Structure 1
């Protein structure tokens, strides 16, 4: 059990990559908090998984755009489980628009959730982990954290910020026993892509040399590694899980 007895917090944990990571952490012996919006399926998902094989799975509602809610999330996690050993900082939203036409409100909302929200969660977690002298944070970045793509000005800016924020947090925390890394998924077959027509879907598939979209559990496996003690000498990294998408063109 790679996470035996550890307490892991997963934001955006009620679907997609987040939920796959919840399940992998539970399988590897962790107690897990699913954190997601109040209207999500998080409560029922946690209830269905709680106390299986003696492990706890709890739901705590949070909007990562609200500092007070984020701080309370970490406080409630520690109050219920005793400590915080790992965080998958995964909550985020998408959005497409040409830069010249991007409304301020839409651009700023994506930045606030995908970048500022990652910072808020990391900041609250680091305060607890620094007190403990241990912990691991994995921030969800993206292939769009390392190169641009048309129609994604806000998303790409946010994810690029997450990559460099991760490096900075890692430098500040290394001497205090806390590791901070990022995961960079390619296009993953989640409900977010369910609305794509077949032409666009196949166009995305062709951009991955492996010849398919990624699966949520493949990102979860890489996240699990970074959360675990197996990655004890890794901090400040951005691990791409992208089927070769960013390797170049063949």
Structure 2
């Protein structure tokens, strides 16, 4: 498999779950991958063929500037950004604290914006690039609670469309990826009743696997999707079709 041969990619939230799978599948497809996370949970990715690890708090502009400068210094280009890092809470509006609101917005929304802003100058200079912003089915539909998560993932959806039309003439494609319920450490830590409900509402009757999302990310990163920008790639077992 070599759909990403020669491409340089940055993947955020790569310590576990969907982000880790995206990083690993990108590398298998031939990309040089900089796998990032806020903590040290992805450092074991370093040393594998095509994979290296860097610490990155997506909510900090200084971290983005450091990582992007380093990648450009060593690789000379950035072809793909997979903005995957995210967190979720399930507080309804009247129970959501300012602190929790700001934390979710900082990581899910501001982090996505900072990532795009950091890599776009390089992509503009080379006249090409693919940005994949991971939203969610909850960027288009609702579940009880989850107010801040809905707000940020809906924002990611529309931020992606704006960037897509802004940079379409510059050879830069921007698409959003919308997973349904995926079995990851993030969802494993949720209330089992919430998980059972969402899986029960999924027409295919099961949770998705991280690699099923990663394969969609490969498509968006590759030249196979060369006429695709501003789109929403939904991988959700049929949930949003209802």
The alignment's TM-score, normalised by the length of structure 2, stands at 0.96
Match of 1:10 in 2: 11
1:81-139 deviation per Cα after TM superposition (whole angstroms, max 9, x unaligned): 22101011011111111211111111111011100110000111111100110010000
Q: Tell me how far apart the structure 1 counterparts of residues 168 and 67 of structure 2 sit (CA, whole Å).
A: 24
- The answer to whether 1:233 aligns with 2:234 is no
- The secondary structure found in structure 2 opposite 1:151 is coil
SS in 2 for 1:60: strand
User: 1:149 aligns to what SS in structure 2?
Assistant: coil
Runs ≥4 residues deviating over 4 A: 196-200
1:106 to 97, 100, 107: 100
Superimposed CA distance per residue, residues 230-250 of structure 1 (whole angstroms, 9 cap, x where no aligned partner): 0000000111110011111xx
1:208 aligns with 2:213: no
1:55-66 to 2 correspondence within 5 Å? 56-66=50-60
Deviation at 1:41, TM superposition (A): 2.1
* Aligned match for 1:88, one of 61, 82, 88: 82
Give me the whole-angstrom Cα distance separating, in 1, the residues matched to 2:176 and 2:40: 25
- Displacement of 1:200: 4.2
8 Å Cα contact 1:71/1:121 also seen in 2 = no
CA–CA separation in structure 2 for the residues paired with 1:35 and 1:224 = 17
CA offsets, 1:129-185, max 9 Å, x none? 001100100000000111222211100000000000000000111100100000000
Structure 1 gap ranges (5+): none
Rate the CA distance shift 1:78–1:145 in 2: closer, same or farther, 3 A. same
| Contact 2:104-2:152 at 8 Å conserved across structures | yes
TM-score by length of 1: 0.93
Cα deviations by residue, 1:180-222 (Å, 9 ceiling, x for unpaired): 0000000100011223565543322211101101100000000
Which residue number corresponds to residue 24 of structure 2? 23
Aligned residues: 241
Deviates more, 1:63-72 or 1:180-189: 63-72
Q: How does 1:24-39 map to 2 (within 5 A)?
A: 24-37=25-38, 39=39
Query: Does residue 194 of structure 2 align to residue 193 of structure 1?
Result: no
Contact 1:9–1:87 (CA<8 Å) still a contact in 2? yes
Once residues 89 and 223 of structure 1 are traced to their aligned partners in structure 2, the CA distance between those partners, rounded to angstroms, is 11
